[in-house]
Amino acid sequence: MDSHDPTRHEELRTGLDATLRVRRELGTEYETALIESFLARFEESLDSAVDRRVRRRLAESRTASARDGRSPSSGRIEGFGERFGFGIVSLVLAVPLSAIAASEAHLPGLLVAWTGIVGVNALHALRDRLPGRTEGREAREDAF
């Protein structure tokens, strides 16, 4: 969701208003399904915005590299975009996971869910530093 795109904000606001109207009409028994549906639409919107930003930065990096006649700056921009996107997606998914874990298993469930979320993000952040991963990184950079 581009912070400078009022159309996207209006679409989300309209979707949220519609979700709230339906919730009032149907009652609280459908609340969970309505919230999950809205969050899924929000997540799709956020994913597409992050994808657009990453592609734009990658294109800008390639264009700058081509103009300078040198190779891209060791994947720095691509790595940032990928990490940023992964972090945003994991936080968006953390909301429903936390709600489900807390409602089903209370504090222990919430702790397990967040331990998993933190663990996945830590592994993602450290994956290029793991032994035997340098070849994979070079192959990924060459593919772009």
**Which pLDDT does position 39 carry in this prediction?**
85
Give me the numbers of helices (H) and strands (E) for the chain, helices first please.
Answer: 4, 0
**Which pLDDT does position 70 carry in this prediction?**
53
**Which pLDDT does position 41 carry in this prediction?**
84
Q: What is the pLDDT of residues 19-76, one digit of tens each?
A: 888 888 888 888 888 888 888 888 888 888 888 899 999 888 888 878 776 554 444 5
Q: What is the DSSP letter of 29?
A: G
pLDDT at 80 over 60: yes
* CA–CA gap between residue 92 and residue 88 (Å, rounded): 6
Q: What is the pLDDT of residues 83-131, one digit of tens each?
A: 888 888 888 899 989 999 888 899 999 999 999 999 998 888 888 777 7
Contacts with 128 (C-beta within 8 Å, 6 or more apart), sequence order: 79, 134, 137
Question: Each residue of 87-104: b (16+ CB within 10 Å) or e?
Answer: eeebebebebbebebeee
Q: Which amino acid is at 56?
A: R
Question: Which pLDDT band, with edges at 50, 70 and 90, does 1 fall under?
Answer: very low
**Cβ atoms of 102 and 110 closer than 8 Å:** yes
pLDDT at 144 over 60: no
